[in-house]
Every structure is written in structure tokens, then in C-alpha cells.
Amino acid sequence: MKKNYLLAPGPVQIPPEILLEMARPIIHHRTPEFEKRFKDVQDLLKELFQTNNPVITFSSSGTGAMEAAIVNTHSPGDQVLVVENGKFSERLTLISKAYGLDAHVLSVPSGEAVDPQKIKATLAENPQFSSVMLEYSETSTGTMNDIEAISKIVSASNALLIVDAITALGVVNIPCDKWKLDVVIGGSQKSLMLPPGLSFLWLSEKAWAKALKSTLPKFYFDIHEERKALEKNTTAWTPAISLINGLYVALDMMSSFGWKNLFQKNQQLMEAVHNGVSALGLKLFSKSPSVSVTAVCVPEGLDGNILVDKLKDEQGITIAGGQSELKGKIFRIGTLGWIDDGDILVFFGALEKVLLQMGYSFTPGSSLKAVQEALLKNA
Amino acid sequence: MKKNYLLAPGPVQIPPEILLEMARPIIHHRTPEFEKRFKDVQDLLKELFQTNNPVITFSSSGTGAMEAAIVNTHSPGDQVLVVENGKFSERLTLISKAYGLDAHVLSVPSGEAVDPQKIKATLAENPQFSSVMLEYSETSTGTMNDIEAISKIVSASNALLIVDAITALGVVNIPCDKWKLDVVIGGSQKSLMLPPGLSFLWLSEKAWAKALKSTLPKFYFDIHEERKALEKNTTAWTPAISLINGLYVALDMMSSFGWKNLFQKNQQLMEAVHNGVSALGLKLFSKSPSVSVTAVCVPEGLDGNILVDKLKDEQGITIAGGQSELKGKIFRIGTLGWIDDGDILVFFGALEKVLLQMGYSFTPGSSLKAVQEALLKNA
């Protein structure tokens, strides 16, 4: 009889309309039906990325598109700058090194966003960098970088700006063309409300031009093969057909709801979470909190692993704990994808129960009152 | 009101039990629930591959596992032998070349299997080849290579035997350990009755030893990362969770039906198709017909594209036409995955209708009688 709530920063809950679409009998992908569907998906992806350029869809998890972003825009020995402020940005360095790139790391303390002026200074001293890579939203610490400010700096240089937006795309406004971003990476299991298994890659004209000269080896993630296939409204390799069908429904739902409304909803949910956290006397981990995911410091003396386990096992609520050195020290709740006001109330209702059991003192109901105040703001 | 039948050599029809399993609310992948499920999947994959070695699951289509097979077992400049007898084996050459390998091609006429003695002679003259790669079932021409015979030759050499078994795995008996195969590639949308989006890779001890020395670049498809993750019953990167859940149900269904029964069923369906084809005076394209897919020559004077289109648009039956230079000249029907006696009868019933409309002369009902004779053989 217990209800389960998946409130992690991805994968997220999937609307039944999408689950049922994916449960329909499969169609062959080399047919006019699939090509029509994939054309519609393309048009909606262009809305999402706010672009006229093609958006490539890979059958892989997000890490695949991160690899694709790097191997398609570089050649052996290229010097790249990776802004590291958490576990996912570190992956950009690992991929770069795996492919023989000379990766320089601009290290930012955990829970902080990079100061755009530091990127400016680094690029001024190192005009040889062929790209700057970073996370839009660093999911491991709930931190958002100021990509708009950074894009103004990098777009004025020769370097490409490669943005891993897996947990930010569809959560906040990312006008790829307007901001002159160069490479933007997305994944299906975040704001897009799908299971994992699809990833996305968008490139600016500047990035496509570099991609033509790239000599790093690639095959499955070769964007030129995909671009050729896109002209025929299909994919180079057999696509994850059921996920593409679900993607159409997801994008159509989002587009119908309105992109601006969606970004506003996510912002308001984040503010509601912040209010609730603050009412309980808890602290945010990040100094530049992400709209997609809120990382909360576990109070002194409590074990965050136990907190996360009790929420899941006793309250049916799956959130994420901390990773690596943050294990047990923070917990993370997502405010992206198919999540609404009610979910946030359910979460804080359960969180209060668990905190009470763990001996943490606070005024019962205080977080719910604070959450509701934020939720009523635009009502 | 029209019923639709997907009888292509993959993707194949998906049983409702699997569609519904994949339509269940998603769970997070870093949880004991997912890990238990993935452990059960592992055990069943080992039954399928008839092995004690781990089987790696990638979130990608089959081409991804083909790339993984190659980049994990080679180093720059390695000389490899690719047996080409159709479009899919050519892809093995393309991937090898994309990664800077020195690919030598042993070309076999379209529709023919390679003579194992030719491989023996080639290896004797070229002991430097680090691997021999080929298709188990070349889907583009409906041709099956004699992998058991070839494995006896290659296992006695220093070379690895890399077998793309995407359309053969789960269709015919492939005892990976016993036959001393080295690398075996699988995909989800063939005998496994799933949507595309998962691929599989199995390696022998000999291949794992070579993999430790491989210096070709890789990250998303790095099997060492996956092997580490497997020890914790998970995947290195976010897996396609819904497909993994479906995979469990598919493997459980196949295992319960019995692997031997499954191989026997597929063999009988293939024989039924051959009987029907022959009764209509049509010819098989392949001299070594595959159990997974039957390629049939379109009779002189008829356009195969029209035949395939009429089957689909008027009869609701999706099969595959010919690819590249075989376009319009052959049609291909799959006998793998969730397909049974009734499907074959439905197919020939519709094929007779279409052939009649196209002016081809034959005795009406003759193919159905011939099909039924084969189907009753073991009844």
C-alpha cells in the first residue's frame, strides 16, 4: 500500500502517458512512420535547445554524449581547460585524458561555482586552449555555474565552450544560439522525464567547423554520420525506438506546457525547497545553488546515509545521498522533470518524520508552512 | 482494424509481458532493488552465453558493442583480418579503420559463408594478425558462417576470434566457453525480444588478457570500468533502466521455455519458411542460409520494393527489403525472437496475395501447405 516517490536528481518519475507510449508495440526504424516521428522529435528538440542547428540523439547514457562532445571537436594533443567543481566535471577530464588530450584543470572548491573572471584570465594567459569544458549544473554538489557570463568570455576567444547540461537542459532557460554556446550535452532521464538511454548533442557553427578538422578516432559517436542520417530523418545506427517514441510525448508535453512556464515552475520549486530547508535550520551545501537539485548539509551528529535510507525504506521516498567524500554529509533532492508542488510537500512531510526519529529538533510543520509560502507566491 | 505484424530480422515484436514491465514506474539505478535485478540479469546472460565469464551490458545499440569489441582488444597499428560477406561485416572493417587498425579484408561473395579453410590458410601465412572478425549471421544476405569450425582454427592461433552474433545469439546454440570463442557481440532487439538500446559483450580469458594490454582510446565503452561495476552488480554509467527491467523478463521467459527448445523452434520456423519459399518456386539468396533470417530472391520481372511496400501498406506485414546493391532484388523475413508458427502462416498467406496481385503465377495455397508440413514435423 506504500506510495513511492522518486525525487532524485535523475532518473526522475515518468508520466504514465510516456510509460504507455513506450509500451506500445514496437515499429521498425527504417520506415516512414519512424522517420515522421523522428522529424517531429527534431523540431521539438530545436525548441528545447533554442536553435536552428541540428540536435543529435545518441542511444547511450549521458556519458556517451560527453565522450561524443570531446572526441568530435578535438585532435590528438589539443590543450583543453576543464573547470572542475565536482564529480561530473571530473569526468570531462577523465574522458579528455583517455583520448590523449592535454587537460588542464581549473579547480574550484566543492559547492562553489567558477568565477567567470578566472576563466577570462586563464584564457588570456593560455590562448592555446582549444576548448573550455564545464558543468552547467554540477549534480554532485547542487551547484550551478553562470554559463551566460562564461559564454560571453569564451565566445570572444578561439576556444570552444563545451557545456555538460545533462541536469540543466529543460530546467532553466538555455538559449544555445543566442548565448553563443558551442557544444551542449543533454540526457533523457532528467528534465525530459524519460528512462535513461538517450543522450543529446548540440553544436554551434564554430563547433561544427572544428568538428570537420577533428582527427580523434570515433565511430559510434561520430557526429558526421549522424548529421548525414538526420537529413533523412533517421539515425546512423539502430536507435532506441521505444525511448524515441517516449521522447516525442515528453517534448510535446513540455512544449504544450510552455518552456517559460516550465522554467518558472522549476525555479519556484527550488525556492520552496530552500524555504523548507531553512525553516528546519538546515544549510544548503552550495554557495551557487542549482535550480535542478538542492544539496542540503546533514546536521552535525546525524548520519546522512541513515537519513537517506530511512526516507527510502520507511517513507518510500528516493532521494540521493552524497557521493565520494560527501557520502553521509549531504543529501540531494531533485526539482527537475515531472515533479510538482505536492511532491515537495510530501518530501518535507517525510523529512520531518525522519528528522524527528533521528533526534533532530525543530518546530514540527515549520518546513511545510515555509514551503507553502513559496508555492503560493505566484498562485 | 488492421493487424500489424513485425517480421523483420530485428527489431522484432515484443511480448506484452515485457512491454508492461518496461512501463512500470522507473526505479533509481543506485539502489539495492536495481542491483538485485541486475544480478539476476547477469546470471541469465551467463546461461545465454553459456559461460562463467562476465557479460557486459552497454546502453547503446549493437554498433556500440561492435566498437567496444574492437577498441578493447587492440592497440594502434594492430593487423586484423575481417571476413566480409555483407553490409554488417563491412562495419567491422570501418570501425577498425576509424581506430587506426591495419584491417585486411578476406572478401567472400555476397550470400556465401566463408570457407573455414581460407581462414586457416590466411592465418598460416599471416601469423601477425591479432584478430579475426566476422559475422555469425550476416543479416544483409541471410547467411550464416560456420563459427564452430572457424573457432577450432582460430583458437589454435594467437589471434582472437571476434564474432558479431547480434542476430544469432539466442537463435542458435552458441556455447562461448566450449567453442573457445574470444569476443561475442549481442544486441537487445533481436532474439531477446526487446526494443533496441542495449548491447552485450562477452570475452574469453584470452581476450581479457589482451584487453589488459590494449592501448586504443576508450571511455564510454571501456570494459574494465564495466567489469569493476559488475562486481557491485551495477554498470559504470547510468544504465537504460527500463530496458534492463525488460531484459530480465525476456531472459526469464527464454530460460523457462528452455534454450534447447528455443533453438529447435527457430530451426523449425526457418525450415517452414524454406518450404514455403520453395513451394512458390522462389529461390533463397544465400548458399548458407541463416536460421535467424531468410533472404529470398525476388522473381525476375518483379520489383522487390513494391512487394515489400504492398506487404506493409496493404497487408500490415513489415519485413525487410534488400540493402544497398540488393535493394529491390531480395526480401528478408526474420525467424528470431517472439515469432511462432502462426506468424509464418500469416506471412505466407499475405505473400501469396501480394504475388497474385503482382502477376506472379503459382498454385494458391501451395506455400501454406508446405509451411504446415514443416510445422507438423515435430508435433
Indicate the residue of A62, A100, A312 with minimum beta-carbon distance to B238. Answer: A62
A181-210 residues touching B, CB cutoff 8 A: 187, 189, 195-197
Question: pLDDT, tens digit, for every residue of B204-247?
Answer: 999 999 999 999 999 999 999 999 999 999 999 999 999 999 99
Predicted pLDDT at A25 = 95
Strands B320-321, B131-135: pairing is unpaired
The total number of residues written for chain B in this structure:
379
Q: CB–CB of A24/A246 below 8 Å?
A: no
Mean pLDDT for all residues in chain A: 97
Segment A211-227 mean pLDDT: 98
Indicate the residue of B13, B67, B237 with minimum beta-carbon distance to A63. Answer: B237
The Cα of B288 is separated from the nearest Cα of chain A by a number of Å equal to 26
Pick the residue from chain A with its C-alpha nearest to B15: A25
What pairs with residue A183 in β-bridges? A162, A203
Question: pLDDT, tens digit, for every residue of A262-313?
Answer: 999 999 999 999 999 999 999 999 999 999 999 999 999 999 999 999 999 9
Nearest to A69 by CA among A181, A153, A173, A168: A181
* Location of C-alpha cell 506471412: B347
Q: If pLDDT is split at 50, 70 and 90, which confidence band does A145 have?
A: very high
- Using the Cβ of B6 and the Cβ atoms of chain A, whether some distance falls under 8 Å is answered with yes
Is the pLDDT assigned to residue A379 strictly greater than 80? Answer: no
Question: pLDDT, tens digit, for every residue of B84-125?
Answer: 999 999 999 999 999 999 999 999 999 999 999 999 999 999
- Using the Cβ of B229 and the Cβ atoms of chain A, whether some distance falls under 8 Å is answered with no
Tell me the backbone φ, ψ of residue A140, rounded to 5 degrees. -70, -25
CA B49, CA B87: separation in Å to the nearest integer? 25
Segment B59-73 mean pLDDT: 98
Q: If pLDDT is split at 50, 70 and 90, which confidence band does B5 have?
A: very high
- Residue of B33, B216, B220, B224 for testing the chain A interface, max A β-carbons within 10 Å: B220
- Using the Cβ of B234 and the Cβ atoms of chain A, whether some distance falls under 8 Å is answered with no
Q: If pLDDT is split at 50, 70 and 90, which confidence band does B167 have?
A: very high
CA B306, CA B312: separation in Å to the nearest integer? 10
Residue ranges of the alpha helices (H) in B202-336? 205-213, 223-230, 241-257, 259-279, 304-315
CA A250, CA A16: separation in Å to the nearest integer? 11
Interface predicted TM-score of the whole assembly (ipTM), two decimals: 0.95
Pick the residue from chain B with its C-alpha nearest to A216: B99
B62-81 residues touching A, CB cutoff 8 A: 62-64, 67
pTM greater than the 0.90 cutoff: yes
Chain B neighbors of A38, CB-CB under 8 A: none
Determine the residue type at B225.
Answer: E
CA B251, CA B170: separation in Å to the nearest integer? 10
Contact between chains at B63 and A219 (C-beta distance less than 8 A): yes
* Location of C-alpha cell 545553488: A289
- Residue of A26, A57, A90, A245 for testing the chain B interface, max B β-carbons within 10 Å: A26
Pick the residue from chain A with its C-alpha nearest to B57: A60
Segment A154-173 mean pLDDT: 98
Predicted pLDDT at A161 = 98
CA A14, CA A6: separation in Å to the nearest integer? 9
Is the pLDDT assigned to residue B156 strictly greater than 90? Answer: yes
Contact between chains at B238 and A8 (C-beta distance less than 8 A): no
Contact between chains at A20 and B22 (C-beta distance less than 8 A): no
- Using the Cβ of B242 and the Cβ atoms of chain A, whether some distance falls under 8 Å is answered with yes
Question: pLDDT, tens digit, for every residue of A242-251?
Answer: 999 999 999 9
Chain B neighbors of A64, CB-CB under 8 A: 59-60, 220, 237
Mean pLDDT for all residues in chain B: 97
Segment A85-105 mean pLDDT: 97
Nearest to A293 by CA among A35, A87, A67, A17: A87
The Cα of B334 is separated from the nearest Cα of chain A by a number of Å equal to 13
Question: pLDDT, tens digit, for every residue of A302-347?
Answer: 999 999 999 999 999 999 999 999 999 999 999 999 999 999 999 9
Is the pLDDT assigned to residue A135 strictly greater than 90? Answer: yes
**Could you tell me the three cell numbers for A341?**
508542488
- Using the Cβ of A321 and the Cβ atoms of chain B, whether some distance falls under 8 Å is answered with no
> Coil, strand, or helix at residue B40?
helix
Chain A neighbors of B323, CB-CB under 8 A: none
**For chain A, which domains are there?**
5-10+258-376 (3.90.1150.10), 16-256 (3.40.640.10)
Predicted pLDDT at A256 = 98
Contact between chains at A26 and B20 (C-beta distance less than 8 A): no
Contact between chains at A25 and B31 (C-beta distance less than 8 A): no
CA A250, CA A191: separation in Å to the nearest integer? 9
SS3 of B228-261: the string is: HHHCCCCCCCCCCHHHHHHHHHHHHHHHHHCHHH
Predicted pLDDT at B129 = 98
CA A232, CA A225: separation in Å to the nearest integer? 11
Q: CB–CB of A331/A322 below 8 Å?
A: yes
Indicate the residue of B25, B59, B99 with minimum beta-carbon distance to A61. Answer: B59
Q: If pLDDT is split at 50, 70 and 90, which confidence band does B32 have?
A: very high
Contact between chains at B219 and A23 (C-beta distance less than 8 A): no
A144-183 residues touching B, CB cutoff 8 A: none
Contact between chains at B11 and A28 (C-beta distance less than 8 A): yes
- Using the Cβ of A271 and the Cβ atoms of chain B, whether some distance falls under 8 Å is answered with no
- Residue of A198, A220, A331 for testing the chain B interface, max B β-carbons within 10 Å: A220
Angle between helix B205-213 and helix B223-230 axes, rounded to 10 deg: 120
CA angle (B168, B172, B173) in 5-degree steps? 120
Predicted pLDDT at A1 = 84
Determine the residue type at A66.
Answer: M
Is the pLDDT assigned to residue A378 strictly greater than 90? Answer: no
Indicate the residue of A14, A19, A220 with minimum beta-carbon distance to B60. Answer: A220
CA A343, CA A203: separation in Å to the nearest integer? 35
Nearest to A8 by CA among B225, B187, B27, B370: B27
**Could you tell me the three cell numbers for A254?**
513540455
The set of residues, in sequence order, having a beta carbon less than 8 Å from that of A115 and lying 6+ positions away, is none
Question: pLDDT, tens digit, for every residue of B257-287?
Answer: 999 999 999 999 999 999 999 999 999 999 9
Segment A77-101 mean pLDDT: 97
Q: CB–CB of A22/A240 below 8 Å?
A: no
Nearest to B199 by CA among B212, B211, B210, B185: B185
Nearest to B166 by CA among B238, B243, B109, B89: B89
Segment B133-161 mean pLDDT: 97
Is the pLDDT assigned to residue B379 strictly greater than 90? Answer: no
Taken in order B5, B7, B10, B13, the sign of the CA dihedral is positive
Contact between chains at A196 and B240 (C-beta distance less than 8 A): yes
CA A227, CA A208: separation in Å to the nearest integer? 10
Question: pLDDT, tens digit, for every residue of B342-373?
Answer: 999 999 999 999 999 999 999 999 999 999 99
The Cα of A48 is separated from the nearest Cα of chain B by a number of Å equal to 22
Tell me what percent of the residues of chain B surpass a pLDDT of 90.
Answer: 99
What pairs with residue A80 in β-bridges? A103, A131
SS3 of chain A: the string is: CCCCEECCCCCCCCCHHHHHHHCCCCCCCCCHHHHHHHHHHHHHHHHHHCCCCCEEEECCCHHHHHHHHHHCCCCCCCEEEEEECCHHHHHHHHHHHHCCCEEEEEECCCCCCCCHHHHHHHHHHCCCCCEEEEECEECCCCEECCHHHHHHHHCCCCCEEEEECCCCECCECCCCCCCCCCEEEEECCCCCCCCCCCEEEEECHHHHHHHHHCCCCCCCCCHHHHHHHHCCCCCCCCCCHHHHHHHHHHHHHHHHHCHHHHHHHHHHHHHHHHHHHHHCCCCECCCCECCCEEEEECCCCCCHHHHHHHHHHHHCEECEECCHHHCCCEEEEECCCCCCHHHHHHHHHHHHHHHHHCCCCCCCCHHHHHHHHHHHCCC
| Inter-chain CB pairs, A–B, below 8 Å | 168
- Using the Cβ of A13 and the Cβ atoms of chain B, whether some distance falls under 8 Å is answered with yes
**Could you tell me the three cell numbers for B15?**
511480448
Is the pLDDT assigned to residue B1 strictly greater than 90? Answer: no
- Using the Cβ of A98 and the Cβ atoms of chain B, whether some distance falls under 8 Å is answered with yes
